[in-house]
Amino acid sequence: MRFGLIIPHRHSYLLPSTFTPSSCFCVNFFPQNHNNNLNLPFPGKGKISCCSKSEVLKSDLMEPEAEDLVVNKSRTLYSPIEPYSTRYLKVSDVHTLYFEQSGKPDGHPVVFLHGGPGGGTSPNNRRFFDPEFYRIILFDQRGAGKSTPHACLEENTTWDLVNDIEKLREHLKIPEWQVFGGSWGSTLALAYSQSHPDKVTGLVLRGIFLLRKKEIDWFYEGGAAAIYPDAWEEFRDLIPENERGSLVDAYHKRLDSDDMETQYAAARAWTKWEMTTAYLLPNNDNIQKAEDDKFSLAFARIENHYFVNKGFFPSDSYLLDNVDKIRHIKTTIVQGRYDVCCPMMSAWDLHKTWPEADLKIVDDAGHSANEPGIAAELVAANEKMKALMG
């Protein structure tokens, strides 16, 4: 059987609502003679593909003239859409979650798990999915976005969130669904799927974060400073020298302070550090998010809370140790080679443990899902899931 990706002729991965089969052709997902992808098979079915944001696909395409096709990965996302349903779900005596649905009401369900933790969702998150095929479900995790109470750390753990995902699935009467998550969303997607493997039809993961000590140390204790010394010093210098033995702990003290101005100052610095490093080339709009006190407070407080508590996992390698539970699930991992926030070592470690998963390395990208090459691979991964589901 051959699986293919439907792409509008001589354009991008974008599938406009007006496209017709006659205007498209089929590109093999794993062509035998792909001149620009380095396919290095591991034992099992997974492959590694190294991609740039603009590639020439020269393979066994359906049309001979398509050999000179240039895939423009700067136009990968679907057009903006509005949700057809927005509601709230009370998941505990303390927390109420905002959730929304968009796309096709009777389509294949996919749940989007946002990053942070504490980052919340945004309208752009809907655009990774074909709205004519997918029933797109977004929700804000405890304390984040429109969920209440805002920036609350009480009853806020990884396992609370895993249970929330199940409560949402049951509330919506969905038997099983595809799971999509990046950065912390990839952490949560792995934890959820390992807890409920029979409820997951497929996984699309981006910017792998396994919440191990070496990953936290890399980004918050000085490793990434080798690449961003200017931004690092601003982050570090909020903390007095005598407290710099653990910046995560020092920030925790301030983010949990009784004084709101102390919380806000720490939250702005914490958030600015991450937003500055999230793109291969600095994105000023992203950096400006740190000035939004409501956003930065939830982002920094909840993120730091999870990191101080080591993700609430029983061991440092918990997610890798439990891969056998999900080895059967069709999975694509998309990773920017120059991801500073979640360096590629984690995606590599996950792929070595789980060679059946396909690893897509984007050679000219950092961390953000909105970088052109990463966005393109995420859309392509969802298109591949569509083909696999028939």
Buried b (16+ CB within 10 A) or exposed e, 98-136: bbbbbbbeebbbbbbbbbbbbbbbeeebbbbbbbebbbb
Q: Residue 204: beta bridge partners? A: 180, 332
Assess whether 346 carries a catalytic annotation: no
User: DSSP label at 148?
Assistant: B
- Catalytic member of 34, 305, 351, 367: 367
Q: Is 130 a catalytic residue?
A: no
Helix, strand, coil: what percent of the chain each, to 5?
40, 20, 40
Residue pair 329/216 in contact by the 8 Å Cβ criterion: no
User: In which residue are the tokens 């969802």 written?
Assistant: 382
**196 is an active site residue:** no
Distance between alpha carbon 350 and the CA centroid of its chain, in Å?
15
Options 59, 102, 147, 183, the catalytic residue: 183
**Rounded distance between C-alpha atoms, residue 205 and residue 336, angstroms:** 12
> Which candidate in 140, 164, 339, 349 is catalytic?
339
**Residues 6 or more apart whose Cβ sits within 8 Å of residue 98:** 86, 87, 88, 139, 140, 145, 146, 147
Q: How far apart are CA 45 and CA 355, in angstroms?
A: 7
- Give the separation between CA 290 and CA 270, rounded to whole angstroms: 8
Structural tokens at position 200: 């997951």
Residue from 329, 93, 354 nearest 204 by CA = 329
- Taken as a whole, the chain contains a residue count of 390
Q: Which runs of consecutive H residues, i.e. helices, occur in the chain?
A: 158-171, 184-195, 213-220, 229-236, 247-255, 260-277, 284-287, 293-308, 318-321, 344-353, 372-389
Q: CA geometry: angle at 26 spanning 24 and 29, to 5°?
A: 140
Q: Mind giving me the DSSP string for 221-276?
A: SSSGGGT-HHHHHHHHTTS-GGGTT-HHHHHHHHHT-S-HHHHHHHHHHHHHHHHH
Active site residue ranges: 183, 339, 367
